[in-house]
Amino acid sequence: MQNHNNQNRDWRRLSRAERAAQSESGTPENHGPIGTFINLLSSYSNPILIGAVFSTILGIIILLFIDTLAPYALLLVALGVFLLLLMGTISLSRVTSAFLSRSGKYGTNTLIMISAFVIIVIILNLLSIENNQRFDLTANNQFSLAPSTKELLSELDSPVKAIAFYPSDISENVDAISRFTKASDMLSEFSKRSTKFTYEVRDPDLEPDLARSYGVNAYESIVVFSDDSDLTSIVQPSDIDYSQLEQDLYTSMLIATSKGQKTIYFLEGHGEKSILSTSAKGYSTFKEVLNQDNYNTEILKWDPTDDDVFVPDDAALLIIPGPTIELPDSHAHVIHKFLQGKNPDDTARRESSRLIFLGEPDTPESFRALMAMWGIILQPGYILDLELGVTDNPNILRAEPMNLNQIRAEDFELLPPDQATIMVDALRSITSPESGQLGQVYMPGTTSIVPIQDDLRWPVPLTVTSPLSFLIDDPDRTDPIPPGEENADQMGPFFSSAYMLAVGQLGATPLTAPPDPNQLTHVAIFGDSDFASNTFLSRGSGTNLLLNTVNYVLGDYSLISIRDRAFVYREFNLDANEYDFVRFSSWFILPGLLALAALSMWWVRR
């Protein structure tokens, strides 16, 4: 009776023992062609399942890492999923019993726990993407943006885009690879700091029309522009290490977003050095670095025979670079009015007056008198330093910038509180900025600066000589006369440059109330003008000293923090597929290992 009932039941629902008994009874089974095919598939279920899992996994890997084979990867995934569903349908009773059995319940619980763990990891990753915190562990903060750059990126009102034009094949040029890596990292850092900053890399050889449309005529050019402005700025490597990249991109964003430029005027007409001259003593390099800081540079030409001269209203800073002939009284009167915060007609200027004077040992007496009226004495003669002078040319002084960290606390206690505060602020911005203490500055034929301190002026020395220095009044003499001998030379240390904040000329009425902004006078003076020339500006820390002084005098403290940081080349090159493999394997390996361990445990205990 039982055997008869078994014969009437679906053969797929018979147990293994019932099938064996039915087979032994001699009753032939006739399932038809479909049943025969299904029976055949069942007999090869294990190899088919293994192939289905392998096909699915292989298709997913190809889909993630090799974009060009995406259609074939989808076919592999579809085939694997189809085979898994087919075998699950054929062996539905076994699958159901596996899940409903005791071991199946344990496996189901394990699968649920793994799924919950994977979901939690995914959620945590999504949260970390939106609320990520990154740390720069390099010794020189190589991958950190300056605070001013971060502030500018956070305050972008309109989208800004950068297109970097680099050739595809630079594998044989290590320097080009280093610059490309730095540019890519810097642009990526910019884009992470602001959703309104985007960038892309294009090959000018493959897209020459696009490069020409932006005015690009050289490799390694970065075009920066804004959708809301027609202004475009092109950044190119300033040196082999691309050390000015962050500063150049900062300036380019200011230009692209139409941020206002400050105008710096260079006085001419009294034998001053020219910012248009490319000669050894010219100032064309100085002009270029100022333009890189987004300053507009202009020439203020005063004819010595013209008494009707003036300082333009838009002059944020006046620079007098190494005059060689006397200053007419009418011109001196206009400069005095400018430093007092007044126009020639005695109307108040809009803001503080700012002046940078670059002198020489033989500065004309009229210019010496001009500076002396504001409490800065240029001594006659040049400084000969036996310790810091260049060996083969003792007239060239390697001046040491003041180091804020080496000034003792008790020295500050000797100063009035206002003086100490101004000194700390100035030195921290000019000679000891966050980017690092400045090195020696090459000053050929510099004179000594003596600033006067009183209730209306607060001087800050910027560079100093060694104690083994002498002030020699004869430019042809290179042997100092030591103390104790007749006509001995004055010994140092001396100051070769200084900054001063003043309110009024010497002898002005003491303050009874806080001064108005236009009454404050910012003056920086250097005992040498050749150190800013095309020959010497890039030697030592001359460029940084001069630019930091300009930035500080103008109140652009943000630019001081973007000075170059050394780039350390550490090669670890990955192509796109390798990068994707590293990224996705870091996401899936640990959960995959846990899933494999759980499946193995389920298989053993089932």
Structure tokens at 84: 């898994």
**CATH classification of 157-247, choosing from 3.20.20.70, 3.40.50.720, 3.40.30.10, 3.40.1350.10?**
3.40.30.10
- At 424 the pLDDT is 85
pLDDT tens track for 199-247: 999 998 889 889 888 888 888 889 988 877 667 778 887 667 777 788 7
Residue 191 reports pLDDT greater than 80 = yes
Distances (CA, A) of 534 to 199, 363, 383, 444: 35, 20, 22, 13
Q: What is the pLDDT of residue 158?
A: 84
User: Percent of the chain having pLDDT more than 70?
Assistant: 83
Confidence band for 142, pLDDT divided at 50, 70 and 90 = low
For the chain, the structural domain boundaries read: 31-100, 101-138+575-606, 157-247, 261-560
**552 neighbors 451 (Cβ within 8 angstroms):** no
Provide the pairing of β-strand 441-444 with 490-491: unpaired
Hey, what CATH topology would domain 261-560 get?
Answer: Rossmann fold (3.40.50)
pLDDT of residue 126: 73
What pLDDT does 26 receive? Answer: 47
* Identical fold between 157-247 and 261-560: no
- Which pLDDT score is estimated for 589? 78
CB 10 within 8 A of CB 32: no
Strands 469-472 and 490-491: antiparallel
**pLDDT (mean) for 396-424:** 80
- Give the per-residue pLDDT at 88: 74
Integer-rounded Cα radius of gyration of the chain: 39
> Which is more confident, 395 or 133?
395
- In the sheet with 382-385, reading across from the earlier edge strand, the strands are 382-385, 469-472, 490-491
pLDDT at 5: 52
- The residue-averaged pLDDT of 488-504 equals 91
Indicate whether 43 pLDDT > 60.
Answer: yes
**Cα angle 283-287-292, degrees, rounded to a multiple of 5:** 150
Q: What pLDDT was estimated at residue 573?
A: 64
Average pLDDT over residues 96-100: 67
Pick 369 or 561 by higher pLDDT. Answer: 369
Question: What DSSP assignment string belongs to 263-292?
Answer: EEEEEESSSPPPTT--STT--HHHHHHHHH
**Looking at the predicted structure, is the pLDDT value of residue 81 above 90?**
no
pLDDT reported for residue 494: 94
Q: Residue 20: its pLDDT value, please?
A: 53
pLDDT of 561? 47
pLDDT of residue 603: 79
243 vs 358, more confident: 358
Q: Residues 413-460: pLDDT tens digits?
A: 767 777 788 888 888 888 888 777 889 999 998 999 999 988 888 899
CA atoms in the 13 A half-sphere facing the CB of 417: 0
Model pLDDT, residue 577: 78
Q: What is the pLDDT of residue 302?
A: 94
Q: What is the pLDDT of residues 306-347, one digit of tens each?
A: 989 999 888 889 999 999 999 999 999 999 999 988 877 777
Lowest-pLDDT range, 5-9, 184-188, 243-247, 580-584?
5-9
Angle subtended at Cα 278 by Cα 399 and Cα 290, rounded to the nearest 5 degrees: 60
What's the predicted TM-score (pTM) here? 0.59
Whether the predicted pLDDT of 354 surpasses 50: yes
